[in-house]
Amino acid sequence: MAVAFHSGVAALLGPPNAGKSTLLNRLLGQKIAIVTPRPQTTRNRIMGIVHGDDYQIIMLDTPGLHKARAEMNRRMVRVAREAMRDADVTVFLADAAEAAKKADYLQRQLALLTAPEAGAAGLPDCPLLLALNKSDQVPPDALHRLAQQCRAQHDFAGVLTLSAIRGEGLDALVQAIVSHLPEGPPYYPEDMPADLSERFLAAEAVREVIFLRTRDEVPYATAVLIDLFDETVSPNRIVATIIVARDSQKGILIGRGGAMLGEIRRQATRELARMLGRPVRLALWVKVQKNWPEKNGALTRLGLPE
């Protein structure tokens, strides 16, 4: 008898910096989500497709859950909650090292999901798997105890431990996800790793370099718009505008004699060429839109739903 095929949507939720993007990239076997050592890098919901012989998982990566203060942050938490509402199963990815240190870590994280600022009324009704990531940073017996404590704290559909960075525990996680997906045919062709436009990847590559190269509030006050993406020429020509909230941030991004912007451009060009598998030529502009993270119109233009 043929094995039944399962397909459906899994939302990937969790606190900033828990390793959601690392896990998604690992599951997909290639880099599509940006990974940085800083929290709150992921602003948009990204879809990746994990293909197996008898399953297809459509993964939604979401912005890290955190206390919603500015309008931008409030929208980010909303995006995460909405991903959960659309999903067949949710994977709540937590940082095992943090959880082992702080007794109230898990409860605090779960509470963010139901925070009134996010317009929430209880948890969306879908099975919740707890995945304790960064298992490489916690001794095995402490990890085992932590998993037991978590099982007692919430009615999870399953509690798993893994190390996204080492690729450990991923098969068990995939199996647990698949067990909650309905039977059905694949939604996407096998060679499709993600439903992301190359424009989006280009903007993310620039944002990633800014996250890696600048400090304090600068990366959080930055958005990137792609003005032109010309695939008809080789190398592809891409023109992007980096939007910041203040004049001082513009100065930092440009740097003395344009040194910083030049570095950002070179690094983003290399990264993007690697992601796309072909050469690109990138031009960058920096523009100030005063206090854009607080403004509804600007946020909507940048693709964050209300």
Ligand X SMILES: Nc1nc2c(ncn2[C@@H]2O[C@H](COP(=O)(O)OP(=O)(O)OP(=O)(O)O)[C@@H](O)[C@H]2O)c(=O)[nH]1
Binding residues: 14-21, 61-65, 133-136
CA distance 117 to 70: 10
| Backbone torsion region of residue 95, taken as left when φ is above 0, otherwise alpha when ψ lies between -120 and 50, otherwise beta | beta
> End-to-end CA distance of the chain, in Å?
48
Q: Is 212 in the site for ligand X (CB under 6 A)?
A: no
Q: Could you say whether residue 164 binds ligand X (CB under 6 A)?
A: yes
| Residue 21 binds to ligand X (criterion: CB under 6 A) | yes
17 φ, ψ to 5°? 75, 5
Q: Binding to ligand X by residue 41, rule CB under 6 A?
A: yes
Determine which residue in the list 7, 44, 163, 236 makes contact with ligand X, applying CB under 6 A: 163
Q: Does the footprint of ligand X cover residue 18 (CB under 6 A)?
A: yes
In the annotated binding site for GTP, the residues are: 14-21, 61-65, 133-136
**Considering the rule CB under 6 A, would residue 73 count as an interface residue with ligand X?**
no
Inter-CA distances, 258 with 208, 209, 237, 253, Å = 19, 16, 20, 8
The candidate with the shortest Cα–Cα distance to 40, out of 166, 160, 207, 167, is 207
Identity (one letter) of the amino acid at 197? S
Centre a 10 Å sphere on the Cβ of residue 183 and count the other Cβ atoms it contains.
9
Q: Between 237 and 256, how does the x/- string for binding to ligand X read (CB under 6 A)? A: --------------------
Nearest distance from residue 76's CB to ligand X, in Å? 9
In the complex with ligand X, the residue whose CB is nearer, 41 or 109, is 41
* Residue 167 in the binding site for ligand X (CB under 6 A): no
State the residues that interact with ligand X by CB under 6 A: 16-22, 35-37, 39-42, 64, 133-134, 136-137, 163-165
